[in-house]
Chains A and B, each alone.
Chain A
């Protein structure tokens, strides 16, 4: 299994631009999570999906953030418009039903907004 795949690994964009982060979960996993990691706030859960349906988006910081999961093998996190304070590492993770193995994390996308 290739694990959770995130793209791009690094993204540098100018303030005001739209940014789209992508995630492919492990095949067969029915939960998908988006986390943001910063020095100041640590790891924060932004949103999670179950069977492609958003279950809890209470961690999404603002309306500028949106996430979708159109099918079981793909999810996006979009920021529009981006701001410098959005600079962080964004992680996607997935787990299966029951989740006895915990979450599996992707390698993350390091976003820099200048």
Chain B
């Protein structure tokens, strides 16, 4: 069955430290891949997406993600975290020749220590 897994429910990092949030999917072909961020009381904002081509994609707010087909992963990274990055991050995957049905991971809540 198609699924999306975010193994880390909570992550805490210090401001200025690097960050990597993990996302794995289960699917027989290359899916469409997204990362969204949700601040408290807000909707979801698209950070970046991967459809095809270069497997390292750049997004907004200094984030990047790398698609690794061999590992069925699409991990989100940021070299230096800012206090304003504290939020919940969702990996989302679209399957089956399109993404009319995005499936979201359970989310990773990021806390940033000063």
Contact = CB atoms under 8 A, between A and B. Distances in A.
B46 A42 contact: no
Contacts of A107: 41-43
A102 interface: yes
A34 interface: no
B101 A102 contact: no
Interface residues of A, number: 22
Interface stretch (B67-75, B77-85, B102-110): B102-110
B99 A106 contact: no
Interface string B12-51: 0000000000000000000000101000011111100101
Contacts of A4: 43
Interface of A: 4, 31, 33, 42-43, 45, 48, 50, 55-56, 91, 93, 99-108
B104 A31 contact: no
Nearest to B6: A42
Given A42-B106, A42-B107, A31 B100 contact: yes
